[in-house]
């Protein structure tokens, strides 16, 4: 029999993060969001809570916790705001995780401790202007010149890449040619401030406006040969493995947004009166909110399943793709429905549902589009 009950520690974590989101994030996030300001103070608080090091090894400053617990925290944050949740999600699953999974002992000792405290952030440099969905269509190159890698190329849509506390980016690049004529792809760690490494100004985005997203460029950027992450030639495989885990984290964010829409609509439907009756008295409104709750619950079951598979060491790639697909759809549909429930107020940025609507669309694109998730699922079914 499947037991979906949380442990006492997980339940305490969930309640603690929920209170933090309610008491610390909610009062300030609207202003940060509209200004496009990165939430440094909130990120520092998440670091003090131990969330950035939750799944990292204890010897490198982490807590050695499970991935499901991290996702619990992400869902609770996203019930209030996705930008803060994404800063944590990308900081761990895209930033620290490549080093945690594939780094050498020396690389881990050097870079993981500050990442585990939230005092520093890392980013994953994978997506390029010429190949977003097609991650194998890389044009960035890294040529080994003696004991130095020389990088040239561009990356785009990179989260946490240009904050004041970003310490490094793990860059996926073509490093040679394989015996069969294919391209050898590897991952190389590029510390912030390295000559030849340029970080562009932040994008002006539709959603996730308080998160940091930048384009990066490399022009004869030189880093030591020992900055090769993991095995040479396995860079793309490493990135795909990291994305599988990150999709579960993003599914938790999507679920949190979907649940946040329910929370806001329940509150509004009880307080708002139309035609002399509470909005909740109208059956169409009640039924619509009920459907929203079903979508959020279904999305939660999907990411729970994927995270549990990851934590017990089972295969989870298909489950991660399904969780990401289901949760992003739930977030988008719930955000649309919430805007209708709020009417004109749902179009005002003073109300969380307006942010939710803008943020939900990003979930159908980031960490692999809806179509990519369908492709992954179909592949696991033996279709193509």
pLDDT mean over 207-228: 98
Beta 183-191 vs 121-125: how paired, if at all?
unpaired
pLDDT of residue 136: 64
Beta 141-145 vs 183-191: how paired, if at all?
unpaired
Query: Considering 75, 76, 364, 367, which one is annotated as catalytic?
Result: 367
Q: Which of 257, 165, 210 is nearest to 32 (CA)?
A: 210
* 48: enclosing H helix or E strand: helix 40-48
Strand partners, 189: 170
pLDDT in tens, 360-377: 999 999 889 999 999 999
pLDDT in tens, 248-292: 999 999 999 999 999 999 999 999 878 878 888 889 999 999 999
Residue 129 CB neighbours (<10 A): 12
pLDDT band for position 379 (cuts 50, 70, 90): very high
Token pair for 22: 């309610």
Domains in the chain (CATH in brackets) are 8-120 (1.10.540.10), 123-233 (2.40.110.10), 237-380 (1.20.140.10)
Q: Which of 151, 156, 147 is nearest to 123 (CA)?
A: 156
**Does the structure show a pLDDT above 60 at 1?**
no
pLDDT band for position 133 (cuts 50, 70, 90): low
What is the C-alpha R_g of the chain?
A: 21
Q: What three-state secondary structure class fits 57?
A: coil
- To the query of whether residue 367 is one of the catalytic residues in this protein, the response is yes
Are residues 132 and 151 in contact, defined by beta-carbon separation less than 8 angstroms? Answer: no
pLDDT mean over 219-226: 98
pLDDT in tens, 60-109: 999 999 999 999 999 999 999 999 999 999 999 999 999 999 999 999 99
CA atoms within 13 A on the CB side of 83: 30
pLDDT of residue 275: 83
pLDDT band for position 132 (cuts 50, 70, 90): low
What long-range pairs does 263-267 form, CB within 8 A, spacing at least 24? 263/79, 264/338, 264/342, 264/351, 264/352, 264/353, 264/356, 265/289, 265/292, 265/337, 265/338, 265/341, 265/342, 265/353
pLDDT of residue 276: 79
**321 CB-near residues (< 8 Å, 6+ apart):** 244, 247, 368, 372, 373, 376, 377, 380
What is the rounded distance in angstroms from the CA atom of residue 320 to the CA atom of residue 249?
9
Give this prediction's pTM: 0.96
pLDDT in tens, 40-53: 999 999 999 999 99
pLDDT of residue 267: 96
């Amino acid at each position: 029999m499947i037991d979906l009950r949380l442990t006492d520690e997980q339940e305490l974590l969930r309640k603690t993060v929920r209170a933090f989101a309610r008491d610390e994030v909610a009062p300030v996030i609207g202003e940060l969001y509209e200004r496009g300001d990165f939430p440094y103070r909130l990120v520092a608080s998440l670091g003090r809570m131990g969330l950035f090091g939750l799944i990292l090894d204890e010897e490198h400053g982490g807590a050695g916790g499970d991935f499901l617990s991290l996702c619990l925290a992400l869902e609770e944050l996203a019930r209030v705001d996705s930008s803060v949740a994404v800063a944590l999600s990308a900081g761990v699953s895209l930033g620290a995780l490549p080093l945690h999974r594939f780094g050498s002992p020396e690389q881990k000792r050097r870079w993981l401790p500050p990442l585990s405290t939230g005092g520093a952030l890392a980013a994953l440099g994978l997506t390029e202007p010429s190949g977003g969905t097609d991650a194998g269509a890389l044009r960035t190159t890294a040529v080994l010149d003696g004991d130095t890698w020389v990088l040239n190329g561009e990356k785009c849509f990179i989260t946490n890449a240009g904050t004041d506390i970003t310490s490094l980016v793990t860059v996926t690049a073509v490093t040679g040619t394989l015996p069969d004529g294919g391209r050898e792809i590897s991952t190389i760690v590029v510390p912030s401030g390295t000559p030849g490494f340029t970080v562009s100004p932040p994008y002006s985005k539709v959603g996730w406006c308080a998160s940091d997203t930048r384009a990066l460029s490399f022009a004869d950027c030189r880093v030591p040969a020992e900055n090769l992450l993991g095995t040479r030639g396995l860079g793309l495989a490493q990135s795909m493995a990291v994305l599988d885990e990150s999709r579960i984290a993003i599914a938790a964010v999507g679920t949190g947004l979907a649940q946040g829409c329910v929370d806001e609509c329940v509150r509004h439907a009880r307080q708002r009166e139309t035609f002399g009756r509470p909005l909740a008295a109208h059956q169409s409104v009640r039924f619509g909110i009920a459907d929203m709750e079903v979508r959020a619950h279904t999305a939660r079951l999907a990411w729970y399943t994927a995270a549990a598979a990851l934590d017990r060491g089972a295969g989870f790639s298909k489950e991660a793709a399904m969780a990401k697909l289901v949760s992003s759809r739930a977030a988008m549909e719930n955000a649309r429905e919430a805007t209708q429930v709020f009417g004109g107020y749902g179009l005002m940025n003073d109300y969380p549902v307006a942010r939710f609507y803008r943020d939900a669309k990003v979930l159908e694109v980031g960490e692999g589009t809806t179509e990519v998730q369908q492709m992954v699922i179909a592949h696991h079914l033996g279709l193509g």
